[in-house]
Chains A and B, each alone.
Chain A
Amino acid sequence: MGGQHELQVWAEDRLHADRAAKAAITDVLRIEAKYSRYREDSVTAAINRAAGGAAVAIDDETAALLRFGARCHALSGGRFDLTSGVLRGAWDFARQPSRIPTDDEIATALAKVGWERVEWSDRWVRLSRAGGMELDFGGIGKEYAADRVAAICMDHGIRHGFVNLGGDVRVIGTQVDGTPWRIGLRHPRRMQAVIGEVELCDAAVATSGDYERYFEADGRRYCHLLDALTGRPVDHWQSASVVAPLATLAGSWGTIAMLLGEAAVPFLRAQHADYLLVAADGTVSCGGAAFERARTNSLERATNQ
């Protein structure tokens, strides 16, 4: 799990806070170890090694993550796909100088993508295609871990706190004084600025953007969010921030919104999600009560400038 992580909990005494934080961090590391695609001994690696071969037995947790991934795949019309990680083989964002892959390279990578070629049940999973098909829980694992952290803290009696795993935030209760937690939303183009803020109690906000990993070529930005249908980066939105009861939902809805392009607004409305979308030209559109305030604040700032 890359990125910066932060956990704040409020308890009656230091001992209780430490205990809760320790249990939560242990669980995040457990999820990281279990699902990391970089670790040889992870569940993900075991599934990927067996691609084209025998089915791999899985536990309830992995089955639930697969089920959730299946819902994301269905809801996004196939654009969100737990097997789309192999597209990174064609799109190398670390490469210097950067290079746009050829159509053939994209087609070769796309041939290894396809949720419909994942055979699975509550007890086993099998990638039906040999030769490089891969499963990657990266798209949902971090948000799932954030929700687990909140639940573990609450089980330890924590009533106020928040966890921020690489920009995906889940809050527990309110601040100690009873006011909502205020979460700033990063500006997709000005790295030190916020484009809005959101007030949360017992909820989550996640932001998906085109600025995390990208390269520019011929005046165009190519970001790391790749559409599993086309094998190409999305370019309709600069960022999508979504508020939901769970980080798992906020994160996946945000990613799906980025992937859906224009269809993101009706999609988010159908989920009853609150959202703040920044279009490619910088135009902000908001929906839902949580962002009413964000819009007002940014208008005030714009007026004052």
Chain B
Amino acid sequence: MIAAALALPGILPANASAQAAPDEGVVALRYYDYRDWQPGASRMTVRSPTLYALVPLSDTTTLEGSLTHDAMSGASPLYHNTLSGASGLGVTDYRTAGDVKVTRYFDGNALALSAAYSDERDYTSRAASVEWRHFSDDRNRTYAIGFGAAHDRIDSSNGLATNKRRETFDLLLGVTQVLNPGALIESTLTWSQGRGYYSDPYKLLDQRPDRRHIVAWLTRYNQYVGRFDATLRLGYRYLHDSFGDQSHMLEAAWIQPLPRGLTVTPSVRYYTQSAADFYHDPPFPQGLVEGAPYTADTRLSAFGAVTLGLRVAKTFAGGTTADVAMNFYRQQSGWRIGGGGSPGLEEFSARWIEFGIEKRF
């Protein structure tokens, strides 16, 4: 109720918007359908429904939770493109994941505690995090600091990795600043420090360092364009990985409201990365030195990729929103910027479709 009152325009000085706890609940159901392929070969298929709910417990406390069930099938895991099809085995795997989050809003601050659990046949992950946000008096600036820890356990079905562990700690620092009533900028720096088993037991001879340090810097800028009653969203992320690879991601989306409660959002994203220090180009297993880190995993090769997306959402009476989104992804080593891509790799494509329905009450 208080949130609905504070949402009335211009009842707080200087058009500031307050950060009160949401006082309406949300239930959302999403369905995700992913498929990828390479020339002449269809690979992975993933289908997953997700149920999400947000429940206000009081004026100052909210409870959120989600539950996902993935069904993955296809000719995965694949050793390497040069061995395409050699894995032979069709795989169907299931993953069940859930998380809960409690957020408590104090005067000018919010504290969130969350826990997540994910389980599949060969991989179990438990994670917990705490995040504190502070809102400036004029509510135009928000600081965020977060700390997370995850504990993973790997038991590969081929017996190569049994009872392997991995511990990861994350630190997040963020600031969000309202520049003017139509523009907002958000910048987040994340450090991740991990130790344990990082190799892929399904990839032959795969041997990766047991320590990993990642720094990621994400900046987002939203600009309202009054002439079209639309919002332009821009984003850039730089990531440095102690495995030796670095990546840059640039994205842009145009959120265009149309009559009759429709919103259309076209988006484009460009991604480029360098190869990990211990990635070796085909032919496999060229470059292998016994005892030294080695991978032929194409995900650690040098490449560029483009994603094109289109989302259409419609809001119905009574707070129900339905949306459908379609995304196409194409990855090619030649699309990398700032140095050549890894040679000898075939292009890789994926598409994913999402359906969602959300009800507020």
Contacts and interface: CB of A to CB of B under 8 A. Distances in A.
B11 A123 contact: no
A124 B260 contact: yes
Contacts, number: 76
Interface stretch (A101-109, A114-122, A290-298): A114-122
B207 to A, nearest CB: 54
A214 interface: no
Contact of A271 (B1, B261, B318): B1
A246 B11 contact: yes
A147 interface: yes
Interface string B1-21: 110111111111110000000
B317 interface: yes
Contacts of B13: 151, 154-155
A207 interface: no
Contact of A67 (B7, B10, B315): B7
Interface in A129-153: 144, 147-148, 150-152
Contacts of B7: 64, 67-68
A248 B5 contact: yes
Contacts of A72: 1
B14 A155 contact: yes
Contacts of A118: 317
B1 A71 contact: yes
Interface in A60-97: 60-61, 64-65, 67-68, 70-72, 75
A55 interface: yes
A123 B259 CA distance: 8
Nearest to A59: B9
Interface in A235-260: 245-246, 248-249, 252
Interface residues of A, number: 36
B261 A65 contact: no
A68 B5 contact: yes
B59 interface: yes
A67 B4 contact: yes
Given A120-B317, A123-B315, A154-B13, A248 B8 contact: yes
A75 B8 contact: no
Contacts of A124: 259-261
A189 interface: no
A61 B11 CA distance: 11
Given A75-B1, A151-B13, A123 B261 contact: yes
B201 to A, nearest CB: 50
B265 to A, nearest CB: 15
A269 interface: no
Contact of A248 (B11, B257, B261): B11
B23 A71 contact: yes
Contact of A151 (B1, B2, B10, B24): B10
Contacts of B316: 119, 121
B315 A68 contact: no
Contacts of A55: 260
A64 B9 contact: yes
A60 B7 CA distance: 10
Contact of A121 (B5, B6, B8, B315): B315
Contact of B261 (A61, A121, A272): A121
The 8 A-B residue pairs with the shortest CB-CB distance, nearest first, are A119-B317, A147-B11, A154-B13, A121-B315, A71-B4, A121-B261, A248-B5, A68-B4
26 contacts: A60-B9, A61-B9, A64-B7, A65-B8, A68-B7, A70-B4, A71-B1, A71-B23, A118-B317, A119-B316, A120-B317, A122-B315, A123-B259, A123-B315, A124-B259, A124-B261, A144-B11, A147-B11, A150-B11, A151-B10, A152-B10, A248-B5, A248-B8, A249-B2, A249-B5, A252-B1
Given A64-B9, A121-B316, A122-B315, 17 more contacts: A27-B10, A57-B259, A64-B7, A71-B23, A71-B24, A120-B318, A121-B317, A124-B260, A144-B8, A147-B11, A151-B11, A151-B12, A154-B13, A154-B14, A246-B11, A248-B8, A271-B1
